[in-house]
Structure 1
Amino acid sequence: MEHIDFNNDLLSFLNQSPTPWHAVATMKKQLDSSGFHPLDEKDDWSLQAGNGYYVIRNGSSIVAFRTGNTDTTKAGVRMVGAHTDSPCLKVKPNPVLRRKGFLQLGVEVYGGALLNPWFDRDLSLAGRVTYGDCNGQVQDALIDFRKPVAFIPSLAIHLDREANSNRTVNPQTDLPPVLMQVPEDDTTDFASLLITQLKAENGVTAERILGYELSFYDVQQAGFVGLRNNFIASARLDNLLSCYIGLQALLETSGEQPALLVCNDHEEVGSMSAEGAQGPFLSSVLERWCGAGKSRAIAHSMMISADNAHGIHPNFMDKHDENHGPQLNAGPVIKVNHNQRYATNSRSAAVYRHLSDQLGLPHQTFVVRSDMGCGSTIGPLTAANLGVTTLDIGVPQLGMHSIREMIGSDDAYTLFKVLTGFYQSPQVF
């Protein structure tokens, strides 16, 4: 895949994936069109050498893998991990608020979101809805309103003279989005709005809504930014970017070596769920694939945890260690933390540097300032659960956890090329 095609397809992937469920559905389509076979955890598996397979859990996490043509107990498995979720505003179970003729929805903040950028944006709504059909069966469907249906207006500066110096955001009272104006005797029910959307979008008739997991998102599409298109700006770059890079690398491989991509949900809230990185999903898939030889396979394996890194901000350069401020468009970032917030060690970092250098591609290193706390990734969790040598790496970005984030337009393709080489490497350990 060429650089221009790669970035254009990336923009399309981001625009089609407003929620983890949509991201996994988009990935599934690409895997299906590339000849990968779906597996169901409830069924027996009969895996064949040289084939591609994928497993989905909860609709929001996915493991895709190529079995390769070599014995996993001797060759190991080349693994890449990412996560499908991003900080956002999720609709509460009983959300409807009626205030002075406005109909609003109560929301819960998911993950460590930057809240101020959510004001004064055109918002839509998407996610999974569970409903009872006319046959008494429980069904799931994805919905995406696609158009602007909500807005969170800022309080005018005339009513808050300290807005530019001392404004804070109360998630309970300040964030309910406005959906429409309604008369005083209005009885609009949120469930009825969802039933109408299910019919319009999916052609299904829901007798009643049984549950939902819905998120607001910014309708502004992903695109190039800058006088010379040096940057890409989008929502959910953290971490749909890594999901896309890992998937394209897996699809690009010859299939000779055993290779795997895992994209977990719930990383932004700690990963402790059935489909999160602290859960058993990946380990279960490896057990069913490698069987009694799983432990030997792990000893020959390596995991690359791909999650975006903090690029140096030109207005806040003092927030980085003076020798470890990654620049946009200067290559992917090897993330190091000796307190194990990142799983990188000297050997796993060396493997990446060696592959990158062989391809003539750039790389950087990030260490958080010693007087600041460090975030984390699925890397340490996966390393601890599996006992696999792990590297934490990521594309440098600005605006992390904002409603709109920015990366360099060269870095994702660079990581894609190195991960493709990693997947096809005859020997890792």
Structure 2
Amino acid sequence: MDATLDYIADFSAFLQASPSSYHAAAEVARRLHAAGFIRLDEPEKWTIDEAAGYYVVRDGAVIAWSQPAGAGPTTPFRILGAHTDSPGFKLKPKPTINSHGWLQAGVEVYGGPLQNSWLDRELELAGRLVTRQGTEHLVRTGPFLRIPQLAVHLDRDVNNGLTLDRQRHLTPVFGVGGESEADLVAHLAGLAGLRAADVAGYDILTADTNPPTAFGLGDKLFAAGRLDNLSSVYAGLHALIATSHLTMGGSINVLAAFDHEELGSQSRSGASGPFLDDILTRIGHGLGATGSERLQAYAESWCLSADAGHAVHPNYPERHDPANQPILGGGPLLKINANQRYATDAHGAALWARTCARANVEYQEFVSNNTVPCGSTIGPLTATRLGIRVVDVGVPLLSMHSAREMCHVNDPQSLAAATAAFFAPEV
């Protein structure tokens, strides 16, 4: 139990340091550097030594790997794929709005948030500012915004069904007064030690500011923002660092934390983009691999596509498959879909069973109710782009895509333990 508490405490610190994908990538990089991993820059020529760890940051994504001694052109990869972004709201251009004596922030909906969950919460703005010279500055406001609901006295039917207009009803407030009294970009620039005139572009998103909390009977339940999918990013990071001493491993172990999964992954730092292929190609090149040898390595490689999944909801059990109803605390999920919305096949299921047995971790199968459309992950994208076999897994949640999701305190650590076993050589 002490190990679980330690894991949750450090995971909570990781979550609080990661209000945006850009902050998450920076926090992953910081922790890798502290563990002795070496940062490589894409425009530079790489010199890679045996038995060392490396990482590359591309915008809000990061790929890290641990390379064992004796790795060669056909050494396979073991990849934990996850994503750093979460649904929410993103700041628009000309974001300062003066309306009826209120100061509001112009935002777009990012991904598919559970919109009503974002109402009446203290939110922060977090992300990156880019100057005219191209330098990048991370920034966060702390509690700063709120999307206020209309009082029940002004909408007597609200409890019979809430309908939110994405343009009119989801604009947060951050102050009162005239437009000349505030400039949102200037405020963000000041937090970064810049002038508003210095800022030429920004990627700024909202995040819930309520800290992660264990609660319920025995403090076994855990609530936080961005569990989807920082639960997987942290599990992969924890496992990669924990196994980096295995210098004679049978594979090159990789953490691939992509951005923009909530938008479909079609970006230069998303799973549909070239990032992972670029890095694996350069690793192979450093090992002297020919094109044919790279394909040989891929043929023996595996990817765990780790993304949060659905636990059975006690108030809506009819939305779940009647025979497969995973619960919080029952262990990580093996996600299966007949239409390849998840990439798990029979060989992948067998690998996951062996992996969890080696880690002494129980796991649960998840499959959708036939009448409820199934979401997807980076798994099918990675399998399609690279031809690497993929298994879809993840931590079971309630309230997925809420501003504040929940899981069991045991399941995140179980995913990390299973990932560490996945990275360790099978004997």
TM-score band (shorter)? over 0.9
Corresponding residue for 2:279? 285
Q: Distance in 2 between matches of 1:371 and 1:182?
A: 50
Corresponding residue for 1:144? 140
Q: Which moved more, 1:381-390 or 1:97-106?
A: 97-106
Q: Distance in 2 between matches of 1:306 and 1:352?
A: 12
Calculate the TM-score normalised by the size of structure 2: 0.95
Q: Distance in 1 between matches of 2:17 and 2:358?
A: 35
- Number of equivalenced pairs: 416
Corresponding residue for 2:166? 171
**Superposed CA RMSD:** 1.5
Corresponding residue for 2:395? 395
Q: Distance in 2 between matches of 1:358 and 1:421?
A: 6
Q: Distance in 2 between matches of 1:392 and 1:272?
A: 19
Corresponding residue for 2:156? 161
Which amino acid is 1:174 matched to? H
Q: Distance in 2 between matches of 1:370 and 1:98?
A: 47
- SS of equivalent to 1:228: helix
1:245 and 2:235 equivalent?
A: yes
Q: Which moved more, 1:309-318 or 1:255-264?
A: 255-264
Q: Which moved more, 1:252-261 or 1:169-178?
A: 252-261
Q: Distance in 1 between matches of 2:416 and 2:96?
A: 44
CA contact (8 A) 1:67 1:255 kept: no
1:193 and 2:181 equivalent?
A: no
Shift of 1:138: 3.0
Shift of 1:72: 4.6
CA contact (8 A) 2:298 2:388 kept: yes
Q: Distance in 2 between matches of 1:351 and 1:192?
A: 52
* Equivalent in 177, 184, 209 of residue 182 of structure 1: 177
Shift of 1:357: 1.9
Corresponding residue for 1:229? 219
Q: Distance in 2 between matches of 1:411 and 1:362?
A: 10
- SS of equivalent to 1:27: helix
Corresponding residue for 1:255? 246
Which amino acid is 1:30 matched to? R
Corresponding residue for 2:360? 360
Shift of 1:75: 3.9
1:294 and 2:294 equivalent?
A: yes
Q: Distance in 1 between matches of 2:403 and 2:98?
A: 26
Which amino acid is 1:170 matched to? D
Shift of 1:195: 2.5
Corresponding residue for 2:24? 23
1:210 and 2:224 equivalent?
A: no
Q: Distance in 1 between matches of 2:3 and 2:234?
A: 15
Corresponding residue for 2:413? 413
Shift of 1:296: 1.1
Which amino acid is 1:208 matched to? D
Q: Distance in 2 between matches of 1:72 and 1:411?
A: 35
Calculate the TM-score normalised by the size of structure 1: 0.94
Q: Distance in 2 between matches of 1:329 and 1:242?
A: 16
CA 1:74–1:426 in 2, change beyond 3 Å: closer, same or farther? farther
Q: Which moved more, 1:350-359 or 1:113-122?
A: 350-359
1:276 and 2:274 equivalent?
A: no
5+ residue gaps, structure 1, are none
CA contact (8 A) 2:50 2:71 kept: no
- SS of equivalent to 1:361: coil
Corresponding residue for 2:306? 306
5+ residue gaps, structure 2, are none
Corresponding residue for 1:119? 119
1:384 and 2:384 equivalent?
A: yes
CA contact (8 A) 1:72 1:297 kept: no
Shift of 1:358: 3.1
Which amino acid is 2:104 matched to? Q
The percentage of aligned residue pairs carrying the same residue is 39
Q: Distance in 2 between matches of 1:72 and 1:394?
A: 31
Task: Output one character per residue of 1:75-131: Cα deviation in whole Å (capped at 9) or x when no partner.
Answer: 411111000000011111122211121110111000011000111111111110112
Q: Distance in 1 between matches of 2:8 and 2:71?
A: 35
CA contact (8 A) 1:34 1:251 kept: yes
Shift of 1:206: 6.0
Corresponding residue for 2:11? 10
Which amino acid is 2:227 matched to? L
CA contact (8 A) 1:10 1:244 kept: yes
Q: Distance in 2 between matches of 1:312 and 1:356?
A: 22
Shift of 1:205: 5.3
